[in-house]
């Protein structure tokens, strides 16, 4: 099958912010053969590329004068691992929806992915920012992945330790357009003692449901319920989840901040540094609920920037920069954007 190369494609329905932007060139890839074809085509035409999954962590700031490749390679299966009999691997291709992979593993009764339930987007994008939620990060469950190096035109297997994972960061996020993730291998556990129940309202919500000995699926269901109650649904209100990362500062800086603002929300890290709740800083700076035109800050979630309908990427970006400047001025803390700006 030949690759369908399209011109001037409107990406509005391809990003959860619902932002208008046109891709000069666009193609959807359904197989590894398509990846090779697209690679040859882009090389011949001399086109830079952008990889796109579900568009839930991108900010389309303007039209894109490049080849946008929507990664839709399907397939997943659970296979035995060579690690131990209690560990299996879920091998999932990049184009599967992350939540489908989570649901599939939980339906089979395996633990591992339950705290990462209901994160939008695709499997292939999950390693890019080392997705995390409810006290678990992808790097804790990822065994290895297969990646296509766009620069060299070669496929590699990378072990988890080779991906430079950090808080919402990785090798892949640092070098966009180079590493196309094709497949991931995730650890699933038949040992149900490994459940993480201590974050936020997970335990209390389980108890409220009368569940003393939860299954992984019980935990996944609870996480879905908590998320649905707290986070805006992009189908209703355009957004890309948390817009800023939680800043991590030195213990000394945190102490100075606490002296000035005793209520500042701090989470001590294992390396001695301190993570601040970016939402608290934005809220205290007075931005929660702010709206200018159709670009705004969510009324309940200060970390979430929203598109009320007709906002452009440039307007969202302008708002984000105003918030960053204000927070630096008020608290001396730099906020880093989480979505990737195209």
User: Of the two residues 70 and 168, which places its CB atom closer to ligand NAP in the complex?
Assistant: 168
The catalytic residue among 28, 114, 205, 338 is 338
User: Of the two residues 257 and 305, which places its CB atom closer to ligand FAD in the complex?
Assistant: 305
Residue 239: contacted member of ligand NAP, ligand FAD, none (CB under 5 to 8 Å, by partner type): ligand FAD
Residue 340: contacted member of ligand NAP, ligand FAD, none (CB under 5 to 8 Å, by partner type): ligand FAD
Backbone φ/ψ region at 206: left (φ over 0), alpha (ψ -120 to 50), beta:
alpha
Tell me the C-alpha distance between 153 and 141, whole Å. 28
Determine which helix (DSSP H) or strand (DSSP E) holds 182, and give its type and residue range.
strand 179-189
- Sheet with 274-276: strands ordered across: 248-249, 274-276, 266-268
| Helix, strand, or coil (residue 255) | helix
**Residue 184 binding ligand FAD, by CB under 6 A:** no
Residue 313: contacted member of ligand FAD, ligand NAP, none (CB under 5 to 8 Å, by partner type): none
The catalytic residue among 144, 168, 187, 205 is 168
Shortest reach from residue 330's CB to ligand FAD, in Å: 26
- From the number of C-beta atoms within 10 Å of its C-beta (0-12, 13-18, 19+), residue 32 rates as middle
Contacts (CB under 6 A) with ligand FAD, residues 194-233: 231
- The reply to whether 105 belongs to the active site is no
Helix axes 216-230, 98-107, angle to 10 degrees: 150
Binding mask 49-88 for ligand FAD (x = CB under 6 A): -xxxxxxxxx------------x-----------------
Site size for ligand FAD (CB under 6 A): 35
Contacts (CB under 6 A) with ligand FAD, residues 143-182: 172, 176, 179-181
Cα Dmax for the chain: 65
Please, which residues bridge with residue 25 across strands?
7, 67
Q: Centre a 10 Å sphere on the Cβ of residue 146 and count the other Cβ atoms it contains.
A: 18
- The reply to whether 338 belongs to the active site is yes
**Which residues are CB-contacts of 287 (< 8 A; sequence separation ≥ 6)?**
297, 302, 323, 326
Q: What residues make contact with ligand NAP under the rule CB under 6 A?
A: 132-134, 199-200, 230-231, 241-242, 246, 267, 277, 279, 338
Shortest reach from residue 2's CB to ligand FAD, in Å: 21
Torsion of CA 315, 321, 323, 328, to 10 degrees: -170
Residues that bind ligand FAD (CB under 6 A): 16, 50-58, 71, 94, 119-122, 124-126, 128-129, 131-133, 172, 176, 179-181, 231, 234, 239-241, 340
């Amino acid at each position: 099958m030949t690759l369908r190369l399209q011109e001037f494609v409107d990406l509005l329905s391809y990003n959860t912010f619902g932002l208008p932007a046109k891709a000069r060139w666009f193609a959807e890839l359904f197989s590894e053969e398509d990846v090779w074809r697209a690679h040859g085509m882009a090389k011949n035409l001399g086109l830079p590329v952008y990889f796109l999954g579900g568009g839930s962590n991108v900010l389309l700031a303007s039209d894109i004068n490049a080849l946008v490749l929507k990664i839709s390679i399907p397939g997943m299966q659970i296979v035995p691992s060579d690690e131990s009999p209690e560990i299996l691997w879920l091998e999932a291709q990049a184009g599967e929806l992350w939540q489908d992979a989570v649901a599939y593993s939980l339906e089979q009764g395996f633990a591992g992915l339950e705290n990462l339930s209901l994160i939008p987007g695709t499997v292939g994008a999950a390693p890019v920012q080392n997705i995390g939620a409810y006290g678990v990060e992808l790097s804790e469950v990822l065994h290895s992945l297969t990646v296509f190096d766009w620069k060299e035109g070669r496929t590699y297997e990378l072990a988890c330790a080779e991906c430079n994972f950090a808080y919402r960061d990785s090798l892949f996020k640092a070098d966009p357009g180079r590493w196309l993730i094709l497949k991931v291998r995730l650890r699933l556990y038949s040992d149900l003692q490994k459940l993480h129940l201590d974050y936020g309202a997970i335990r209390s919500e389980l108890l409220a449901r009368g569940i003393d000995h939860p299954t992984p699926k019980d935990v996944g269901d609870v996480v879905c319920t908590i998320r649905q109650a707290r986070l805006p649904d992009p189908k209703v209100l355009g957004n890309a989840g948390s817009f800023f990362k939680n800043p991590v500062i030195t213990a000394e800086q945190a102490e100075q901040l606490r002296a000035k603002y005793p209520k500042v929300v701090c989470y001590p890290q294992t390396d001695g540094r301190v993570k601040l709740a970016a939402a608290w800083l934005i809220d205290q700076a007075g931005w929660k609920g702010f709206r200018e035109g159709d670009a705004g800050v969510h009324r309940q979630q200060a970390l979430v920037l929203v598109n009320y309908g007709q906002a452009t990427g440039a307007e969202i970006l302008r708002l984000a920069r105003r918030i960053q400047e204000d927070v630096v001025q008020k608290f001396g803390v730099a906020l880093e954007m989480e979505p990737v700006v195209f």
